[in-house]
Amino acid sequence: MREDRQRLDKWLWFARFAKTRTLAAKLVTSGFVRINGQRVENAAKALAIGDVITLALARTTLVLRVEGLGQRRGPAPEARQLYAELGRDVGTLVSERDSE
């Protein structure tokens, strides 16, 4: 694989979205992951910086932009630097004051 790419299951494991690479691969093959809007079922799919990942987890759906490719599975603060969450800081669309 090219140096500017990384396997999706490996990246999910490095970024701490799965406890093991096997679980990361199952998450992908079960159809819970999209890259740039396209459903992915191959755990070996190449991931690049700037790609947008959508993860459908048990209680939430996360939309992430890949900010870096991991070198190891480090502590949580190190893993957090691999991605940026999108859509979290949008805020409410309608407030109580708007409806008066």
pLDDT at 98: 44
Q: Per-residue DSSP letters for the chain?
A: --TTEEEHHHHHHHTTSSSSHHHHHHHHHTT-EEETTEE---TT-EEETT-EEEEE-SS-EEEEEE----SS---HHHHHTTEEE-SGGG--SS-TGGG-
User: How far apart, in whole angstroms, are the C-alpha atoms of residue 31 and residue 87?
Assistant: 22
pLDDT at 96: 52
Q: Give me the amino acid identity at 83.
A: Y
Closest listed residue to residue 9, CA positions, set 65, 63, 53: 53
Full-model pTM: 0.83
pLDDT at 93: 44
Domains in the chain: boundaries: 5-86
pLDDT at 38: 94
- CATH number of the structural domain 5-86: 3.10.290.10
pLDDT at 89: 52
Regions in the chain scoring below 70 on pLDDT: 88-100
